[in-house]
Amino acid sequence: MKSWIALLAGLLFGMGLSVAGMTQPAVVLGFLDLFGAWNPRLLFVMGGAVLTTAIGYRWIWRQSRPWLATSFRVPTARDIDARLVVGAALFGIGWGLAGYCPGPALASLAGGVPSVILLSGAMAVGWWLAARWPSAKERT
């Protein structure tokens, strides 16, 4: 059941990205072009996401437990280490260069555009490498 709900949530997310134009790199790069032809569309998408998340979290935390689990599992890590900083920098650099972050890139795979396929492959390699890079706690 969890897998079906995850699939439906992913499809809904991908459709939302497509409808909002976030699968078009020009829209994202236009948002990052503050001193040129600035496009505020991404700002409205992010605002809608933040508002939806804020409302959703307030509602979810009022529940005694999740619908499909026995308890909530909240991350406890608060460390700012090299792994976090390097990962955030690579994410930002890749987003700025390609005009895609992971969600829109994966949603755009269906188009079969070679640059999106290459980008998605590079992301997969990055995820694979990140899973093998030990965290600060694992190195001590």
Tens digit of each residue's pLDDT (9 = 90 or more) over 6-29: 899 988 988 888 888 888 888 888
Of the chain, the percentage scoring pLDDT greater than 70 comes to 96
**Token output for 69:** 């689990």
Of 117 and 28, more confident = 117
Of the chain, the percentage scoring pLDDT greater than 90 comes to 20
d(CA 134, CA 136): 7
3 state SS of 43 = helix
